[in-house]
Amino acid sequence: MNTTAPPPLTAAGSARSLEQFLADTAQRDRGQGVFELESPRILEVNLDGKMNTKMGSMVAYLGNIKFKREGILDQGVGNLLKKAVSGEGMKVSYAEGNGKLYLSDTGKKIIVLKLENESIVVNGNDVLAFEPSLQHKITMMRKITGMMAGGLFNVRFDGSGLLAITSHFEPLTLRVTPGQPVVTDPNATVAWSGSLNPQFKTDVSFKTFLGRGSGESIQMLFEGDGFVVVQPYEEVYFQSGS
């Protein structure tokens, strides 16, 4: 009979009293303003009025808050085709009222940006919340819509206001300068400056169709002056044609 005692718990896995657990995970007012990061993956919105949020991102709220989905015409008639092609387009809901709203998106890291009369384009899957003062417009990767299952839409933001975006793990920002283009994997591309208009490079060969390709058959090419943000993770947006 084996009577060896189990090894003691390590510091990382040591048990906590209920009181200690509640203290360690308690909500705290950090005085950061409208957007507060309760943790790297939970955003607190101190709501007093209206806020645009990604549909399905609410995990909890306190106070008197109501939610309304963005209507199909809210983006204008010109975006009806984009919504039809992409399935739903950018799924936005409006949160209105007073209270504290908590948002998260599949445990992704949250980055809060303050735009000051600036523009940025964000992958639609990586938009978490933004103030109504920011103008937003859905843009589509037209040249490869037939090759994409989802994630074919981006959202361009212009103006001044707070914007919360998400990234799998720590993002990396690359500078784009004249004569020094940057090429990225669309599945790992989070955002880029509004001054850039990415083109698409394809490297589809017979080997690709046989499953011997590099796996990087489509790339985004950024040229000009600006920046592009990538994440160390490839979200799957592409599917083979049917």
Single pTM value for the model: 0.80
Strand order in the sheet with 199-202: 182-184, 218-222, 199-202
Q: Is 56 exposed, middle or buried (0-12, 13-18, 19+ CB in 10 A)?
A: exposed
How confident is the model over 182-198, as pLDDT tens digits?
A: 999 988 999 999 999 99
Are the C-beta atoms of 203 and 144 separated by less than 8 Å? no
How confident is the model over 100-136, as pLDDT tens digits?
A: 999 999 999 999 999 999 999 999 899 999 999 999 9
Residue ranges per domain, the chain? 34-230
Specify the residue for token string 């990604």: 54
10-19, 33-42, 103-112, 141-150: which has the minimum mean pLDDT? 141-150
Amino acid at 78: G
Query: Would you put residue 101 in left (φ > 0), alpha (ψ -120 to 50) or beta?
Result: beta
| DSSP assignment of 173-224 | EEEEBTTB-EEE-GGGEEEEETT---EEEE---HHHHTT-S-S--EEEEE-S
Beta-strand relationship, 172-176 and 109-123: unpaired
Are the C-beta atoms of 206 and 159 separated by less than 8 Å? no
Among candidates 231, 58, 38, which has minimal Cα distance to 128?
A: 58
| DSSP assignment of 20-64 | HHHHHH--------SEEEEETTEEEEEEEEEEEEETT-EEEEEEE
- CATH node for 34-230: 3.60.160.10
Confidence of residue 202 (pLDDT cuts 50, 70, 90): confident
